[in-house]
Amino acid sequence: MAFVIGDGCIACGACEAQCPVGAISMGDGKFEIDPDKCISCGSCAGGCPVGAISEG
């Protein structure tokens, strides 16, 4: 199951840098995870300073 970025995202970009498969990109005011590319490794969640990423 892919991870998702919630409304708590502060658009810092930390998650994008952590993603090994490039599944994260800037969306409408916050970053978004492409569920088709996400490998559910959790690297992004571990790198989020505000805890805005969870398993979807």
| Predicted pLDDT of residue 45 | 97
Q: Which domain holds residue 9?
A: 3-55
> 26 and 11 in contact (C-beta within 8 Å)?
yes
Output phi, psi for 47, to 5 deg.
-95, -5
| Predicted pLDDT of residue 56 | 86
Q: Residue 11 belongs to a domain with what CATH number?
A: 3.30.70.20
| Predicted pLDDT of residue 16 | 97
| Predicted pLDDT of residue 52 | 97
| Predicted pLDDT of residue 47 | 95
Say how far apart CA 4 and CA 54 lie, in whole Å. Answer: 6
| Helix (H) or strand (E) segment spanning residue 15 | helix 14-18
Number of domains in the chain: 1
Per-run averaged pLDDT (10 residues), the chain, 56 residues: 94 97 95 96 96 95
